Amino acid sequence: MTTRTRILTGITTTGTPHLGNYAGAIRPAILASQDANADSFYFLADYHALIKCDDPQRIQRSRMEIAATWLAGGLDVNRVTFYRQSDIPEIPELTWLLTCVAAKGLLNRAHAYKASVDKNVETGEDPDAGITMGLYSYPVLMAADILMFNAHKVPVGRDQIQHVEMARDIGQRFNHLFGNGKEFFTMPEALIEESVATLPGLDGRKMSKSYDNTIPLFTSAKDMKDAISRIVTDSRAPGEAKDPDNSHLFTLYQAFASKAQEEEFRAELLQGLGWGEAKSRLFQLLDGQLGEARERYHQLMSRPSDMEDLLLVGAKKARAVAAPFLAELREAVGLRSFVNQAAAPVAAKKKAAKAARFVSFREDDGSFRFRLLAADGEQLLLSRHFADGKAAGVVTKQLQSGDALDVRTEALGFSVWLDGSAVADSAEFADEASRDAAIEALRVALTPLED
């Protein structure tokens, strides 16, 4: 059975989506969600918005606009899990658990924090002037977003790769401290889509609200047409050949056109198509592709209760995953019910404390392995290599199940087999008697404690 790849994407709710957001992130994500082998999680990162914006009306408006944009763009909420970050109370709780294991030195190296400190130093301010704990610990919240749902792939821009790497570091630290042979968190990978368009704005720079050079996506056809009319072009008159490869207008057209449309438009520019007519053609192309979605967007914005219902259904789906997982994590760190623990006799606790234990680790080649150590620290087994921590965790769980061990001797050593494959090996011993004694010690170490 093929394991579905879990993909997680969030958009911070601090502004109105524009054409660049749509082409660069929203459209490719919606297409990716239609893959039968993808298990997609899409969320409105409204907790993250609080770090960047202190205008409640702007945040609320942006949450609605971004939700409506995803839905109008064709996101199928029956195929994906679509939710607001703030509707999942398990996320801030996990953020705290991860904060308690995240190294301050790691967070000191976060790009956004360092950039803010550097800017303060340059202007003669106190290094931490204006820097909130929200900005400083932003990577931990992002780690919680990713690790809560054990995402395999996280599509991000290059400036966000560091945050995915930090999520891996924090997740590994938690696994090491509290896993006891179990890998709670999957190690996520940043997914960089080199082919995704970075659209130029009206002035040729990257389309961004920071530059005030955006083309509206769904506000109105008139607004879009007005913005397109302001695209900067050169001074070549109608009838003069234009250079498509150095035209921002052609780059925009190319991002939405079919191959045939693109080639036809290129030929017309080379033959002297006037810039005014070229802008009209771009508007017609965009309006033709986005007109129906624009109508759906305005319908959704006029009926916010419909979006609310869809997002609450999405939150329920997300919490069905998050709540039981957080319960496991609470148990792991010691936040347990008194009732279930009170009856355990002190002797049993002492015995358990001296029991053999599994220690997992990651090799330099990226593979995962584990050791089984006896109560005195002696190594009883060293596992083979596993592709991921989850696979290694499954094996350690099977070894602790109490089922009969399949131990096979090999000269002065032995190996342990599961389901027809060798999963771990012993060291080499001086003689057969030492080897056989080690096998018996292994069986005792893996015998479940009596209740």
All residues at 6 or more sequence positions from 122 whose CB lies less than 8 Å from its CB, including other chains: none
Q: Where are the alpha helices (DSSP H) in 14-153?
A: 19-21, 27-33, 46-52, 56-72, 90-99, 104-108, 111-122, 133-136, 138-148
Least confident of 127-131, 172-176, 309-313, 363-367: 363-367
In this predicted model, which residue has the larger pLDDT, 234 or 157?
234
Query: Rounded to two decimals, what is the model's pTM?
Result: 0.71
CB-based contacts of 251, cutoff 8 Å, min separation 6: 199, 200
Bridge partners (DSSP) listed for residue 191: 155
What local confidence, expressed as pLDDT, does residue 195 receive? 59
Q: Across residues 299-304, what is the average pLDDT?
A: 96
Q: What is the pLDDT of residue 431?
A: 82
Tell me which long-range contacts 106-109 makes (C-beta under 8 A, separation of at least 24).
106/139, 106/166, 106/169, 106/170, 107/136, 107/137, 107/139, 107/140, 107/166
Cβ neighbour number for residue 385 with a 10 Å cutoff: 12
Q: For the chain, report the end-to-end CA distance as a whole number of angstroms.
A: 37
Per-residue confidence (pLDDT) for residue 451, from 0 to 100: 35
Q: For the chain, what is the mean pLDDT?
A: 89
pLDDT digits (tens, 9 = 90+) for 440-449: 888 888 876 4
Assign 347 a pLDDT band (cuts: 50, 70, 90). Answer: very low
- pLDDT over 90 (residue 39): yes
Mean pLDDT of 370-396: 85
In this predicted structure, what is the pLDDT of residue 157?
Answer: 77
Nearest residue to 399 (alpha-carbon basis) of 369, 372, 439: 372
Residue 3 has pLDDT above 80, yes or no: no
pLDDT tens digits, residue range 190-224? 988 665 567 889 998 988 877 889 998 998 999 99
Predicted confidence (pLDDT) at residue 351 exceeds the cutoff of 60? no
Return the exposure string of 244-260: e unless at least 16 CB atoms fall within 10 Å of the residue's CB, then b: beebbbbbbbbbbbeee
Tokens found for residue 3 = 């394991």
- Write down the pLDDT at residue 196: 59
Which pair of tokens denotes residue 23?
A: 């082409």
- Token pair recorded at residue 393: 């965790």
Q: What is the pLDDT of residue 67?
A: 96
Strand, helix or coil for residue 9: strand
Walk me through the domains of the chain, giving residue ranges and CATH numbers.
3-197+302-336 (3.40.50.620), 207-290 (1.10.240.10), 355-444 (2.30.29.80)
Measured from the Cβ of residue 136, the count of other Cβ atoms closer than 10 Å reads 19
> Are the CB atoms for 204 and 248 separated by under 8 Å?
yes
Residues in the chain: 451
Least confident range of 59-68, 91-100, 108-117, 386-395: 386-395
Q: How far is CA 403 from CA 150, 266, 436, 439, in A?
A: 29, 70, 19, 15
Q: In 332-400, at which residue ranges do the beta strands (DSSP E only) sit?
A: 357-362, 368-373, 379-383
Q: How confident is the model at residue 340 (pLDDT cuts 50, 70, 90)?
A: low
Task: Return the beta strands (E) in 69-195 as ranges.
Answer: 81-84, 153-155, 189-191
pLDDT > 50? residue 244: yes
What integer is the mean pLDDT of 237-246? 92
Distances in Å between the Cα of 50 and the Cα atoms of 47, 55, 57 are 5, 9, 12
Distance CA 362, CA 385 (A): 9
Q: Provide the pLDDT for residue 355.
A: 65
Quick: pLDDT tens for 82-110.
999 999 999 999 999 999 999 999 999 99
Does the pLDDT value for residue 27 go beyond 60?
yes
**The pLDDT of residue 409 is above 80:** yes
Q: Give me the percent of the chain exceeding a pLDDT of 90.
A: 62
Identify the pLDDT of residue 352: 41
**Torsion 168-173-176-182 (CA) sign:** negative
Position 20 scores a pLDDT of: 86
Confidence label for 345 from pLDDT (cuts 50, 70 and 90): very low
Q: Which pLDDT score, from 0 to 100, does residue 449 have?
A: 43
Q: What confidence score (pLDDT) does residue 1 get?
A: 44
Which whole-number Å values give the CA distances from 278 to 233, 283, 285, in the listed order? Answer: 10, 9, 11
Over residues 386-397, mean pLDDT? 88
Residue 158 DSSP code = G
Which DSSP helix (H) or strand (E) runs through 41?
Answer: strand 38-45
Sign of CA dihedral 258, 260, 263, 268: negative
* pLDDT range class, residue 399, cuts 50, 70, 90: confident
pLDDT in tens, 413-433: 999 999 889 999 998 888 888
Query: With pLDDT > 70 as the criterion, what percentage of the chain qualifies?
Result: 93
Dihedrals φ, ψ of 409, to 5°?
-80, 145
Are residues 208 and 20 in contact, defined by beta-carbon separation less than 8 angstroms? Answer: yes
Report the alpha-carbon distance of residue 303 to residue 210 in Å, rounded.
30
Query: What is the pLDDT confidence band of residue 350, given thresholds at 50, 70 and 90?
Result: very low
* 299-306 mean pLDDT: 96
pLDDT in tens, 99-147: 999 999 999 999 999 999 999 999 999 999 999 999 999 999 999 999 9
Q: Looking at per-residue confidence, does 345 or 402 come out higher?
A: 402
The whole-angstrom separation of Cα 252 and Cα 282 is 8
